[in-house]
Structure 1
Amino acid sequence: MTLDRNDDLFSTRRAGVLLHPTCLPGPWGVLGVSARTFVDFLADSGLSIWQTLPIGPTHRDLSPYQSLSAHAGNPDFIDLLELVEAGFLSHWELSQPAPSARHQLLTLAAERFFNTEGTDLNGLDQPGYQHFRENNDYWLDDFCLFCAIREVQALPGWLQWPECLRDRDKQALQDFIDQNRSRLARIRFEQFLFQHQWQGLRDYARGKGILLFGDIPIFVAHDSADVWANRNLFKLDERGEPRAVAGVPPDYFSLEGQHWGNPLYNWEAMAGDGYQWWLERLESQRHLFDLIRIDHFRGLQAYWEIPAETPEPKYGYWVPGPGDHFLEACFSRFPDLPLVAENLGMISDEVEELRKRFRLPGMAVMQFGFDGSPDNPHLLHNHHERDLVYTGTHDNDTTLGWYQSLDDHTRSNVNRYLCTSGEGMPWPVIEAAFRSVCALAIVPMQDFLGLGTEARFNTPGTVEHNWIWQMNWNFCRKSLSTKIHDAVRQQGRLPRC
């Protein structure tokens, strides 16, 4: 599907769900029967958008916004059961418990893949693998080398590697490659499997009328293949330490502000080659998704720079971003680029003007609408057709948890505005979002399930108990599909045939 910027997704009313793939149950990975079962549920419910968080490989904190790569897929998503069907593993091997079973099984599958002609399983063969390598050579080799060194060194990050590897000495890297060819091949094979299974899911979803909606974090993790391989594109010192890092000042999500720790871009260096690194990043995501959100869009107009020597967010300051020059380069390369701007938090008039100059849809969040001001942009009567409305985001409490935590005065405001007694929450909020003039209405799966704070996915500014919630298939009964379908239909959001 190609989206024309003049006649695109936002010319029709749709409804969708926000759910990260890690929330799906699947003991051997989710990009198989688990994801397809969820797509079936969406189709039965009349939903036509599946929004995820970033899908790259994560660090130990599991945050999808601090990935090891801006291009790679998370190998933990790979469904090992599909490797049994392809003949690279056996059911018996899959049934053997071991602390490192997944790693061992992928290693075994890779050995068999490279040592046999195999059977063509819709492109899961040697020609398909070579095609994948050729199409992804702009990031794949650096990523595989980064991950292989990381495995061997077993250290917290690339700054702790031996200097010759840290600084990418050519001879040292070649020596490492020569000594670790099977390890590198296994990591490449994992990325091939991820891409193969993801494209299979995307094809299946399209066949059911479901579009995939992805998310690009504006910044990348310091401990990533991208920073290690492109140090000149970031604000780093001679050793590779960040001179300053990203974050945000105090706002709705955190009264103390947030210290993200991501290195900041050297935008002048990026502009020197026409933002090639970013264009390649967008190219990768276009192959994975039908619609793409840029998280923290305001950083393109101005970003909060926190000096390394004074790491508290309050000591940061705003620095102008690349703005129009950057977006012009993006749309010159990809005229039909399907971008959505995350414009939440402290948003200035300049940020909104930039977004509107490029006709980028923004976001309204129902939970943010009840500060008592009739001019609040998140209230229903202030919504805009070409925007998206959410009941809440991955950074919010669930809508039920949010409602239950409100003070009496604010809860009364919610009830009066939505003409509800509060009974049946969060459905009064879901139904209000569906009534919005916004073309796309997105609801976190936890809200459709009516779950409370115990199902919250992330709490900004904290590092524990995040990114681990998983859905129970028992919740997805036929009665829930029928309830969602009826609500979607009543507000004219069923997908058009």
Structure 2
Amino acid sequence: MTIPNRSAGLLLHITSLPSRFGIGDLGPEAYRFADLLKEAGQKYWQILPLNPTESGYGNSPYSSHSAFAGNPLLISPELLVEEGLLRKEDLENAPDFAEDRVEFEKVADFKLQIWHKVFANFSKEADHALQHEYHAFQHKHQAWLTDFTHFAAFKKRFENRSWVEWPHEIKNRDKHSIKELAAEMEEEIAFEEFLQFLFYRQWEALTKYCHQRNITFFGDMPFYVSHDSADVWAHPAYFKLDADGNPTGVSGVPPDFFSETGQLWGTPVFNWGELAKHGYDWWINRIDHNLRLFGLLRLDHFRAFSAYWEVPASEDTAMNGAWEPSPGSAILHHVQQKHPNLPIIAEDLGEIDEPVRDLMQLFDLPGMLVLLFAFVSDEKAFESSYMPHNHIPKSVVYTGTHDNSTTVAWYQEANEGDKESLSKYTFQELSDKNVHEVMLRLALASIANLAVLPVQDVLGLGKEATMNKPSTANGNWQWRLKKGQFTETHARKLMELTKLYGRV
């Protein structure tokens, strides 16, 4: 895959956009941000997964009850008012939301009320053209839509319990029982389907707007899916489960420098033998679905396409797991037949072995370089692939990612040796006032074909703007831009830098 030479982009998830409704959405501020990206000379807008989030999983976009559905919380009420599906008065009594944080439960309560009003209006008054769009959407997404909408509606009927606790016939997908329950819950299922229609309709409109401005969405896809998901309920044979539907093997990573016991993620691992019998259809459909949403796709935890760490479900830590082979090569070969250019980035951070490198080379996939990992007070630091003098063109360079501190926060918490390492390398006197600008220049000056900058680093924000702290359960995914915080002045300054380093 070839990244256009010397291009640049910004990292900002949709939820982090400003909005008067408590969460960034696909409405006016998304279009405004696209305009600022163009003004700043940026070609890519990188985001996190768009799937539904759940409070039980800390609202992480990497833990969802569907690998295909969109997050209804991202639907813009303002666009629905413009289209006549909502009245302006319906939004006048919106709660007061925090400006700089997503209050997920408060947002969900408010938006659910709004969506029911929209659904009622659509059912009564929708014009012929909109109904035609709706039927076209149903046809286009039928491969996953029925399973997901049944799952979402049934889950509410069964008091939000996991699908393994549902009545036996529904849990085990008895066709007659599902048909009976679906007929009884016809309106609830239609409501879930309608929300997906609204989400994808607004997403496609925003994507079209960005394409007109030569801006490409750079998406993200997790490797695993949640056990309590439409995907596992609909395809239990594709996962390692016992007779009751519970996982026998779960995901994680082994002990390393950062954790003595490893990380136990707990999602079910795949039954590759069963998937192989069906030509890896679910996996291929999933990647194809994402490649139709985004012009460029990051495969998270790419090393699991080579081998993955499987832990017995009875374990409390990830220590007693084992590396198991993964058919990533076979899956990517299938995907490449549909998408010959294979516009995929491999998330290759952490401990990566030679077989992973070989797989990346086989499919010509760029990897990631994170500058925050480069500057450490180690006598062999100059050998690190993250150091700018060791960068390679076929890669994507970042100051940091959504899983790192902001550059300013990193500097404030770094030891003196790490600070000195960066200062000597850049021949700069550094402080928490200028370190982000120095890092931005290093990223943009890199020979890596694509440089992606988190908006937090463009603005020089501190610890308060950290998006996610790995291995912590609470307080993540909440950061938001305040209205007017990222301005035309910032965009013009970024354009100057992007031009200076030949990325426009």
TM-score (norm 1): 0.94
Q: 1:466 aligns with which of 467, 476, 498?
A: 476
Matched, 1:21 2:14: yes
**Structure 2 CA distance for aligned equivalents of residues 325 and 474 of structure 1:** 47
Q: What letter corresponds to residue 63 of structure 2 in structure 1? A: Q
Could you say which residue in structure 1 is the equivalent of 2:99?
A: none
Q: Is 1:65 the counterpart of 2:62 in the alignment?
A: yes
Q: Does 1:93 align with 2:90?
A: yes
| Kept in 1: contact 2:411–2:419 (CA 8 A) | yes
RMSD: 1.5
Report if the CA contact (8 A) 1:254-1:461 is conserved. no
- Spell out the pairing of 1:20-419 with structure 2 (5 A cutoff): 20-28=13-21, 30-60=25-55, 61-97=58-94, 100-118=109-127, 120=129, 125-251=130-256, 254-371=259-376, 372=378, 373=380, 374-419=382-427
Which residue of the partner structure matches residue 4 of structure 2?
11
Equivalent in the alignment of 1:491: 501
> Contact 2:43–2:214 (CA<8 Å) still a contact in 1?
yes
**Identical residues among aligned pairs (%):** 38
- Give the secondary structure class of the aligned counterpart of 1:437: coil
> Do the aligned partners of 1:254 and 1:460 also contact (CA within 8 Å) in 2?
no
CA–CA separation in structure 1 for the residues paired with 2:131 and 2:160: 34
Report the secondary structure of 2:84's partner residue: coil
How far does residue 110 in structure 1 lie from its aligned partner after superposition? 1.6
How far apart are the structure 1 equivalents of 2:127 and 2:257?
Answer: 54
- Corresponding letter in the other structure for 2:413: S
- Structure 1 regions of 5+ residues with no counterpart? none
Letter of the aligned partner of 2:124 in structure 1?
N
The correspondence of residues 450-465 of structure 1 with structure 2, limited to 5 A, is 450-465=460-475
Cα gap change, 1:251/1:17 in structure 2, threshold over 3 Å: closer, same or farther? farther
User: In structure 1, what is the Cα distance between the partners aligned to 2:195 and 2:81?
Assistant: 15
Residues in 1 aligned to 2:258 and 2:462: alpha-carbon distance in whole angstroms = 18
Amino acid at match of 1:413: S
Query: Which letter does structure 1 place at the counterpart of 2:497?
Result: A
Name the amino acid aligned to 1:248: V
8 A contact 1:253–1:460 mirrored in 2:
no
Partners of 1:160 and 1:34 in 2: how far apart? 41
Whole-Å Cα distance in 1 between the matches of residues 73 and 258 of structure 2? 29
Aligned partners of 2:283 and 2:331 also within 8 Å? no
TM-score by length of 2: 0.93
Amino acid at match of 1:455: A
Give the distance between the partners of 1:255 and 1:44, measured in 2 at CA. Answer: 46
TM-superposed deviation, 1:11: 3.4
Offset at 1:114? 2.6
Q: Give the C-alpha shift of residue 253 in structure 1.
A: 5.4
Equivalent-residue separation in structure 2 for 1:197 and 1:491 (angstroms) = 35
Structure 1: how far apart are the matches of 2:486 and 2:44? 17
Q: Which moved more, 1:324-333 or 1:410-419?
A: 324-333
Following superposition, the deviation at residue 321 of structure 1 comes to: 0.9
Q: Give the match's secondary structure for 2:221.
A: strand
How many residue pairs get aligned? The number is 483
Shift in CA distance, 156/411, structure 1 to aligned 2, threshold 3 Å: farther
Report deviation, 1:116: 2.8
CA contact (8 A) 1:155 1:161 kept: no
User: Contact 2:240–2:249 (CA<8 Å) still a contact in 1?
Assistant: yes
SS in 2 for 1:427: helix
**Distance in structure 1 (CA, Å) of the matches to 2:493 and 2:257:** 32
Deviations 1:37-83 (A, max 9, x none): 11111111111110001000011111000011111110000001111
Residues 480 and 251 of structure 1: is their aligned pair in 2 closer, same or farther, counting only changes over 3 Å? farther
Q: Which moved more, 1:313-322 or 1:151-160?
A: 151-160
Q: Is the 8 A contact 1:86 1:119 kept in 2?
A: no
Q: What displacement does 1:104 show?
A: 2.2
- The Cα offsets for residues 425-466 of structure 1, whole Å up to 9 and x where unpaired, read as 211011101010001001111111101111111111110110
